[in-house]
Structure 1
Amino acid sequence: MHANSPKLRGVNLGSWLLLERWMVPSLFEGLAATDETSFCTELGSAAAKRLRGHWQRWITREDFAWIAERGLNAVRIPYGHWIFGPDYPYHRTYGDKPHPFVEGGIEVLDRAMDWAQEFGLRVMLDLHAAPGCQNGFDNGGIMGVCEWHTQPEYLDHALSVLERIAERYRAHPALHAIECLNEPRWDVPTEYLKDFYVAAYERIRKHCPAERVAVVFHDGFRSYREYVGFMQAPEYRNVIFDLHRYQCFDRRDIDLDIFGHKAKAGGEWRDEADAINAELRLPAVCGEWSLGLDLRVVSLWAEGPFNHALEHMDEFQQHVANRGYGASQLLAFEKYLGWFFWSYKTETTPAWCFRDCVTRGWLPSHFR
């Protein structure tokens, strides 16, 4: 189970224990809510029934079976800082509800861990939303707010949650890795972030030995070169570097044609993988990637224009383009210790839905 163990080929179980409206619009029908915080505050006491139903339906034991049948060996499970219930610090977006979040997520996670064990899947547990929000994205829990790094109690609570996760699952055979924090934004100071990662490592290692469980940290949308020399052996062991790679958010990427997208994946991203492997002296994973090239689908709040590489293609050309783009990325990310597609399932768009991508032949049908 060490960082140098077999390659991790996996998928994210997104919008399950942490909601993203663009992935499950049906759940948000009739609501103004943009994220899990506003979902819970707007619905109030009605949130629990709606969300618990979603927890039961969105990912099931059958999904774990399907994932394992395809030869994947890992899942990354995002969760919010409220997973253990109402002991989190207050944020003004909660209004008059000091503890707006629905309770019971931890039991869902317990079940997920057992399903993973049953089907031989390794689990990376990923703190995806921190108190005060670490990125201002909907997936950080509070859209448009990035204040996690501004209050010591926010940092302390994040560390406490990581330690409790480590303690709870320390002996669970499915636990492979714990990720300190998903996608802290580029304007969170690098030194603050590094101090947090070191503190998180120490909290996790109190319960999970390096022989069994990896500690994962995200690049925080900055160059891997800012981490050269960081968390090195022998003091730090079984540490994994996480980066996320998409081509649908930056205007320069959006304006590329499909040949440009494939060239970036098969060229720039290949070279980046070689450089990271050579310079960082830490194993790396691409913790999120997709076939998504259409900004309109993934961001319900983005300003247009919404041009993209596939918009003037017929169905056959789109099919070939998706296959080519998928293959180019896979070849680049296979250079790493592993990768996790975002996401296993969406209601909205096949390019972000692993099951659809496999069913349609855009991605391989087996990953052994």
Structure 2
Amino acid sequence: MAADTANGGLSQLEDHYKTFITEQDFAQIAAAGLNWVRIPLPYWAIEVRDDEPFLAKTCWTYFLKAIQWARKYGIRINLDLHALPGSQNGWNHSGRLGTINMLNGPMGLANAQRSLDYIRILAEFISQPQYKDVVAMFGVTNEPFAPTFGQENLARYYMQAYDIVRTASGTGEGNGPFISFHEGFMGLSNWVGYFTNSDRTSLDLHPYLCFNAQSADPYSARDTEPCTTWGPNQNASMRAFGLSTAGEFSNAINDCGLYVNGVGLGTRYEGNYTGGPWPVIGSCEQWTDYQSWDASLKQDIQQFALASMDALQNWFFWTWKIGNSSVTGKVESPAWSYQLGLQEGWMPADPRVAAGTCGNTAPWQPPLQSWQTGGAGAGQIPATFTSSYAWPPTSISGGGAATDLPTYTPTGALPTLPAPTFTKSAGGTVDAGSGWLNSADNTGMNVAIPTCNYLDPWIGNAAPPSPLCGAAARRDTVPDPVITPPPS
């Protein structure tokens, strides 16, 4: 796209921002009985470096519009940092399909430093009083792939992110957003005992049936599967950890749908998915041609949706909207569009009717504990935990000892995010904030050391550069900051 200068290069992306999600969508979301939206934001909303091929800063303008629309229609936002430098999972929605280079590989520590800086910049903005009641949850990293780089290092990264967000929001119980930690594909139960007495942390799970073994079974044969597969785990996590949410789920029971797996990657269902072999189950046409679906099938899909909603309790559907194919003129992945389901009759007009679908055989019994919602005891994580999961890690998978790896130094200027401009109808201006809540949070941005060489942040497996840019080689430079969480 960048090379397509005749049609505007990367700026063509802004046409999508301008037209795809508009105020009308927020009005429809509110009318559908939904009260939260989860908005994915990439790190290039803030900046890009060197030759990273992303349209910098533009999407931030449209996120600010989303805040205004959410405020107008009574909707709260879960801001999700979706794409990190180097990629946190190797999937296309992290910025690049390929290798994992965040917390993994020779640039794994340096990319984590950058990522934590971006978390800090976003946290400072959304913790301001003008935004904190709208952007009330912050998913600090989408789908980090802990099976590659380990749960210990992910917990260290989360502990540092927690301290960063709470430092931005300042002292006092209940300040700043709820912090959402994705479970990193380790399973909800493996996080029991982590972040005890933290100030409003939650676990994020993305339960999908469609990417597992494929089946030709109809919806009517799978309507109770969410209840039996997801419900018990969600109930157990609400009891053992605290607030647990499904940050993503869909109506898909197989991976049929245009580009569901990625452009040109095929599907498991049809046996042509890249990285197979997969057995051929059948044709995807019946699963995507929603215009041929009869009332009985639509009722079965709605029953599956209701079971999912009831089992997951606190959920975000992925996604509100799927664009029409430029070839066929219709949605080609209908199981993923909430809006289309409402229009065509397989999504409930009122999601509250889902309550009780699973039979409530072993429901979680509220309330959450006081510290889990920012009350008494919040922010008093035991020192044994914080010391065990201190930042930085001692070693990085695919890279080696942290002291032998490239790192950045916190001497750069901080790029404060701009606020919107408001004008009162009677004249004058409205205070939209400075973009930075805590003036005492003034450590510099992590930037390259001029005397050191660095690998490409997206390099994959490679030998560390020479001269070495690790901590041992820069002992005379500014030390890494130690962030101390504010007292509760």
Deviation for aligned residue 1:169: 1.9
Is the 1:44–1:100 contact (alpha carbons within 8 Å) kept by the matching residues of 2? no
Query: Match of 2:55, SS?
Result: coil
Identify if the C-alpha distance between structure 1 residues 305 and 169 changes in structure 2 by more than 3 Å, giving closer, same or farther: closer
Query: Match of 1:76, SS?
Result: strand
Identify if the C-alpha distance between structure 1 residues 323 and 367 changes in structure 2 by more than 3 Å, giving closer, same or farther: closer
Correspondence list, 1:93-132, <5 A: 97-98=51-52, 100-132=54-86
Q: Which residue of 2 aligns with 1:147?
A: 101
Measure, in 2, the Cα distance between the counterparts of 1:98 and 1:283.
36
Correspondence list, 1:30-49, <5 A: 40=2, 43=4, 46-49=8-11
Is the 1:248–1:254 contact (alpha carbons within 8 Å) kept by the matching residues of 2? no
Q: Quick one: which of 296, 301, 310 aligns to 1:322?
A: 301
Q: What is the total number of aligned residue pairs between the two structures? A: 314
Q: Quick one: which of 301, 325, 340 aligns to 2:316?
A: 340
Q: In terms of mean alpha carbon deviation, does 297-306 or 224-233 score higher?
A: 297-306
Correspondence list, 1:135-284, <5 A: 135-150=89-104, 151-170=108-127, 171=129, 172=131, 173-185=133-145, 186-208=147-169, 211-212=174-175, 213-233=177-197, 236-251=198-213, 254=215, 256-280=217-241, 282-284=242-244
Larger radius of gyration: 2
Deviation for aligned residue 1:139: 1.0
Is the 2:42–2:81 contact (alpha carbons within 8 Å) kept by the matching residues of 1? yes
Measure, in 1, the Cα distance between the counterparts of 2:35 and 2:339.
15
Structure 1, unaligned runs of 5 or more: 1-38, 91-96
Deviation for aligned residue 1:188: 2.8
Measure, in 2, the Cα distance between the counterparts of 1:98 and 1:164.
20
Is the 2:11–2:55 contact (alpha carbons within 8 Å) kept by the matching residues of 1? no
Measure, in 2, the Cα distance between the counterparts of 1:44 and 1:191.
45
Measure, in 2, the Cα distance between the counterparts of 1:256 and 1:149.
40
Q: Which residue of 1 aligns with 2:379?
A: none
Identify if the C-alpha distance between structure 1 residues 61 and 247 changes in structure 2 by more than 3 Å, giving closer, same or farther: same
Q: Which residue of 2 aligns with 1:285?
A: 245
Deviation for aligned residue 1:314: 5.7
- What RMSD in Å do the two structures reach over aligned CA positions? 2.3
Measure, in 1, the Cα distance between the counterparts of 2:9 and 2:254.
31
TM-score, length of structure 1 as denominator length: 0.79
Alignment of 1:134 with 2:96, yes or no, is no
Measure, in 2, the Cα distance between the counterparts of 1:82 and 1:205.
23
Measure, in 2, the Cα distance between the counterparts of 1:316 and 1:366.
18
Identify if the C-alpha distance between structure 1 residues 110 and 294 changes in structure 2 by more than 3 Å, giving closer, same or farther: same
Deviation for aligned residue 1:43: 4.4
Measure, in 2, the Cα distance between the counterparts of 1:256 and 1:274.
27
Q: Which residue of 2 aligns with 1:66?
A: 28
Identify if the C-alpha distance between structure 1 residues 256 and 269 changes in structure 2 by more than 3 Å, giving closer, same or farther: farther
Q: In terms of mean alpha carbon deviation, does 255-264 or 306-315 score higher?
A: 306-315
Identify if the C-alpha distance between structure 1 residues 319 and 329 changes in structure 2 by more than 3 Å, giving closer, same or farther: same
TM-score, length of structure 2 as denominator length: 0.60
Measure, in 2, the Cα distance between the counterparts of 1:326 and 1:205.
36
Q: Which residue of 1 aligns with 2:47?
A: 85
Deviation for aligned residue 1:339: 0.6
Identify if the C-alpha distance between structure 1 residues 320 and 230 changes in structure 2 by more than 3 Å, giving closer, same or farther: same
Identify if the C-alpha distance between structure 1 residues 132 and 255 changes in structure 2 by more than 3 Å, giving closer, same or farther: farther
Deviation for aligned residue 1:99: 5.2
Deviation for aligned residue 1:259: 4.6
Is the 2:46–2:56 contact (alpha carbons within 8 Å) kept by the matching residues of 1? no
Identify if the C-alpha distance between structure 1 residues 319 and 193 changes in structure 2 by more than 3 Å, giving closer, same or farther: same
Q: Quick one: which of 338, 363, 366 aligns to 1:354?
A: 338
Q: Which amino acid aligns with 1:227?
A: W
Deviation for aligned residue 1:157: 1.1
Is the 2:81–2:142 contact (alpha carbons within 8 Å) kept by the matching residues of 1? yes
Is the 2:119–2:165 contact (alpha carbons within 8 Å) kept by the matching residues of 1? yes
Measure, in 1, the Cα distance between the counterparts of 2:32 and 2:293.
29
Measure, in 1, the Cα distance between the counterparts of 2:294 and 2:254.
15
Cα deviation per residue 1:83-115 (whole Å; 9 max; x = unaligned)? 1123x4x5xxxxxx3454343221111111121
Is the 2:254–2:269 contact (alpha carbons within 8 Å) kept by the matching residues of 1? no
Measure, in 1, the Cα distance between the counterparts of 2:307 and 2:30.
23
Normalized per residue, the structure richer in helix is: 1
Identify if the C-alpha distance between structure 1 residues 270 and 99 changes in structure 2 by more than 3 Å, giving closer, same or farther: closer
Identify if the C-alpha distance between structure 1 residues 82 and 44 changes in structure 2 by more than 3 Å, giving closer, same or farther: farther
Deviation for aligned residue 1:329: 0.7
Identify if the C-alpha distance between structure 1 residues 44 and 184 changes in structure 2 by more than 3 Å, giving closer, same or farther: farther
Measure, in 1, the Cα distance between the counterparts of 2:348 and 2:218.
23
Q: Which residue of 2 aligns with 1:75?
A: 37
Measure, in 1, the Cα distance between the counterparts of 2:268 and 2:168.
47
Query: Match of 1:144, SS?
Result: coil
Q: Which amino acid aligns with 1:73?
A: N
